[in-house]
Structure 1
Amino acid sequence: MNVRVLAAAVALATVALAAPAFAQSASTTGTGSITVIRPLTITKNGDLKFGSVVRPSTGSGTVVVSTADARSVTGSVVGLSSGDTPRAAQFTIDGEGGQSVSVTIPATFTMANGSESLTVTTSNNLTGSASAQTLSNALGAAGSLAFKVGGTVPVSSTTVTGAYSGTFTVSAAYN
């Protein structure tokens, strides 16, 4: 065999063994991120107070406390100036500025006097949907939302006299 042919064969074999196999591959990078915000808190700044009223001698009426802290009466109910000053309940939600929150206020709650009870229908001064409120300020700063809860309670000639009280729960959550 020719030395040249042999040298060429050896060179070809060496190149074939040393050449890597090229396979298809691809890669990219991903990133992670997180935004940490302050927790929500709710503070009660004042209770809902209907004040003192005189029940009607016949028929029925209502006592309304608006979110502007004004009491009005209908029917033969008489509002007295003695006793608690009528006012709406007041709350403040604190959390991360600029964030959307859902506020939950019950539509009704019950006030009791022993075994007797009255149902209060609530109202509030939130603008728009309670499930789409926005805390003041911007992300990175503290934000807040203050609001009031008023109510309407029926009083009839058969309503048992005495002091009635009850509780209701207001809550909030980030959207």
Structure 2
Amino acid sequence: MRIALLYLLLFSTSFLYSQNSANTSVRSTAVVVEPIEIEKNVDLHFGNVISSFNPGRLILSPDGNRTTFGVDISSANPGEVSAAEAIVTHGSYDYTVTLPETFKLYNQNNPNQFLIIDEFTVSPETSAENYDVLKIGATLNIQANQSGGLYTNNSGFTVTVTYN
């Protein structure tokens, strides 16, 4: 019995010293991507709009063209008209653009009077491998008998670009 116990003890200790782990070397890398950037070049200007007895809309496309429904514009005196424009520096990475759902413009002489901008549209134009020019249009909603005056909002609306 002692021999069997000694044999069992010797045999079982050899299991204790058998391989019970392994290792390998894992290399690692990282790529630091330059942050995405956006810089505004041009503000959004709808130009002069003639109020009506009915509500209406003025659609300013990203290419700067205006289309009206229920309101008039003067081709002889259009005022300042421009789609917004921003430069996005993004390297070779894809990104998304986020625009507000709505934005208010307030009458400078009567802040109780306002206009709503909605239906923002964006058209990115690739200018170079590392950056795009974003052209941004929107729809200006005019109430019936809208009070005349300059409507603005100095805080501006936010355009957010995010890497995918």
With the length of structure 1 as denominator, give the TM-score of the two structures: 0.71
Q: How far apart are 1:111 and its partner, in Å?
A: 0.7
- Which of the residues 94, 103, 107 maps onto 2:101? 107
Asked whether the 8 Å contact 2:127–2:133 carries over to 1, the reply is no
**Structure 2 Cα separation of the partners of residues 155 and 112 of structure 1:** 12
- Which of the residues 31, 52, 62 maps onto 2:27? 31
**Structure 1 Cα separation of the partners of residues 49 and 128 of structure 2:** 38
**Structure 2 Cα separation of the partners of residues 136 and 32 of structure 1:** 32
**Structure 2 Cα separation of the partners of residues 108 and 124 of structure 1:** 12
CA root-mean-square deviation: 2.3
- Letter in structure 2 aligned against 1:116: Q
Max radius of gyration: which structure?
Answer: 1
Hey, what does 2:118 align to over in structure 1?
Answer: 121
- Give ranges in structure 2 of 5+ residues lacking alignment: 1-15
With the length of structure 2 as denominator, give the TM-score of the two structures: 0.76
Cα distance change of structure 1 residues 59 and 29 upon mapping to structure 2, 3 Å threshold: same
Asked whether the 8 Å contact 1:46–1:91 carries over to 2, the reply is yes
Hey, what does 2:67 align to over in structure 1?
Answer: 72
Hey, what does 2:48 align to over in structure 1?
Answer: 52
**Structure 2 Cα separation of the partners of residues 33 and 59 of structure 1:** 63
Q: Secondary structure at the match of 2:18?
A: coil
- Which of the residues 102, 126, 137 maps onto 1:150? 137
Moved over 6 A (4+): none
- Give ranges in structure 1 of 5+ residues lacking alignment: 1-20, 128-133, 138-142
